[in-house]
A and B are shown apart, each in its own frame.
Chain A
Amino acid sequence: MHRDERRSARTVFVTTAKRAARGGVLWGVIFGALIASSATTYVSAFPDAASRAAVAATLEGNRGFEALFGIIRGVDTVAGYTAYKTLYSMIVLGAIWGLLTSTRLLRGEEDAGRWELYLAGRTTRGGAAGQAAAGLGVGVLLIWVLAGSIAAAAGADAKVGIGVSAAFYLAGAGAASAAMFVGIGLLVGQLAANRHTANVIGAAVIAGSYLVRMVADSAPEFGWLRWASPFGWIEELRPLTGSDPVAWIPIALFVVLCSSAAVMLAARRDLGAAAIGGRDAQPARTLLLGGEAGLTIRLTRPATIAWLGAMAVTGLVFGLVAEAAGSAMQATGGFEQAIQRLGGTAPAVVSYLGFVFVFAAGLVAIAVAGQIASARSEEAAGHLENLLVRPVARWRWLGFRLALGAAVVVVASALVGVMAWVGGAGSHTGVSFGQLLKAGLNVAPPAIFILGLGGLAFGLWPRGATGVVYGLVVWSFLVETLSAIFDSNHWLRDTSPVLHIAPVPAAAPNLTAAAWLLGLGLVAALGGIVAFGRRDLAGA
């Protein structure tokens, strides 16, 4: 084979690798920075054995924290604390990156009609999918190498003292999550009818993995459940806390099986065909098709239901573990600092709930980002044009989308509170239904603020709107995680909308902050609607 022919035969690999590498470099640097900053900040925040013993006493064995962040070990050392603080951020962010990138570069390319151009060249359906999988592997490899290198550089400081192999082992745990969900993205991309459906299924797998792992870490008798969750496998790797490489076996098998199955399915199915939601014909269901509002509800319904379900289960788990978490905190007595940093003072169970509800605010904000991404997708795909060439006002279309997003936020927030009450009802947490409903609704204002900013970005910079809103959510999540643990700079804390609310029920709702968030969100949304009415429609 000539050189040009060889190059032509691996076009899909090269193209996919280049595109995956961009995200790989970005997230590799972010993961590396996260590890390095965690390690060095710990050294300065807890300089002596006494302070380190105190933090260990607060955190280790706290089932509430462990349900959120995984089993906590060795936090009286730099290595143990760094692993505790960074592992779940890397796991969740790595999984989201892996899923979205693989569905974008495989099923997304197929949806856009570009995949058939590749297949008209020197490759086959299975071969092209295999090349895409290998190209995505380059992105994962870059995450591992860059995060590991930065972590090793930070670990070389004598006060930090994390070795090169340990640094790369921790970075590998983060990259493993990305790799597994690249595999999931490849597989669901072959099963689903389009990229959107693939993302919804993949998001359900992420949520399921997290929830199974949460239950596993909420009580010792459920510990075996960790082996039933991809996130649990990564936790079982125990990076920097007595590494256990056995868990690499299911991780490697999972990646290989998902990727192989995806390649096999790609080789066997027709281009554009689907195993899930793949009925070619059906009787017309016109109930919601009387106008653009009903259409919006119909198109966003599957993702909204899935998200509300995930929030309900999250609330239920909060309620189930609240009593155990509160007891553990009462025993150690040091936890109040964390909740005080968020502005609350209350009995341990209530403090725990106040803390986790702030965490839930970040989760609700992800649903908001999905609403903005969905609106942008309608415009980019040219679907919106079918409405706007008819007597449909732009302000009405975007206004309804944003109002629907706000309604979903309110329902999801209330659902977390209601389900937390249901979960805690059997264990006598002593927190009333009203308190928990209020705690749930308290997380809505930051999400509505982010929704408004997303609407503004959509109106002003449509091609960047999805990136802006997801970036804001990820940033809020990172700042929230850091602030839960450290006395971080208040300027930094103020950049996260989530950290402006009070930790209800551990504190009274901060109505002033909530009103500001809602007001600014409304103003931003109105600005976005006006800007959308004045700009050109923008394709992909």
Chain B
Amino acid sequence: MNKLSTKKLTAKDFATDQEVRWCPGCGDYAILKAVQKTLAELEATPENTVFVSGIGCSSRFPYYMETYGFHTIHGRAPAFATGVKLANPDLDVWMVTGDGDGLSIGGNHMLHVLRRNVDIQILLFNNEIYGLTKGQYSPTSRPGTRSPSSPTGSIEPSLNPCAFALGAGARFIARTVDTDQKRMPSILARAQQHKGASFVEIFQNCIVFNDKVFADFTEKAVAKNRQLHVEDGKPMTFGPDAEFGVRRIPGGMALEAVNMEEAGISEGDLLVHDEKDHLLATMLVNKSGVDGFPIVLGIVYCDPMPSYDSQVSKQVADAQETSPNADMKELLFAGATWSVT
């Protein structure tokens, strides 16, 4: 892209000429569209944007983005993304991964990229199944999931990605749904603007191997009753007429979802979301979907701290400032030397 061009880019300008090869009806299409739209809205420059991925259906994502892209190896995208960012901190780095790639084979790297707070956006497409290898259960599959590798039902408890990210020390945690084209772009934009690692879990429907696994809260008929979209500074309400709300159980710490009218309370009695409240975020992600509590979506946690890459750059810059004449000759002759004549 020519930097001098004043023509504003559209979502289409971020699409490549490559044929998209996801299954028809795959949730990935919607996410791709939302990402392209977001980049256009952010007026991102394609040449300064890099998409890095691992292996899996979601990891084909970079091939469809008219930016720089690196489709790497299974589970290791966080490490590649870290290297890209350390080499050139000016680049806007996006990482695309899935529940198998990011939380099973790559769980270790996910932990550390979040802990270090490398300034990248991590989009974790969670479809609770291994798609590319034809349908085995994944670490986020619900216990009892029947799959080719668990014909009598999986027996492993499932991992909660957002709780994992919080535990790892992530400073930005958000969650959205593939089909939610209305809200996803603004969440992605916030993730992009956040300095540090931004973790966005996207519930993504795998139409072939795990169809409708999220239907209990994404189907139109139930969505409003089952989704809680949190917003910083706003009381936590949900329901078709915002008739439900979240409060602490009277006399206790735990959260509960209540019908305000039945409980005889008003909006003023509800919990107000605070993005910087780590404890609240912890409770929300752990309560999400449990015992009738709604699925928590939106920006659950955002409390920036200096990013790893910025601090690495600073240490290098400081060293260069302290030793402005550091050259190879000085380095070679460092320490005790003696002359032989």
Is this pair of chains taken from one and the same complex? no
Residues of B participating in the A interface, judged by any CB pair closer than 8 Å:
none
Residues of A participating in the B interface, judged by any CB pair closer than 8 Å:
none
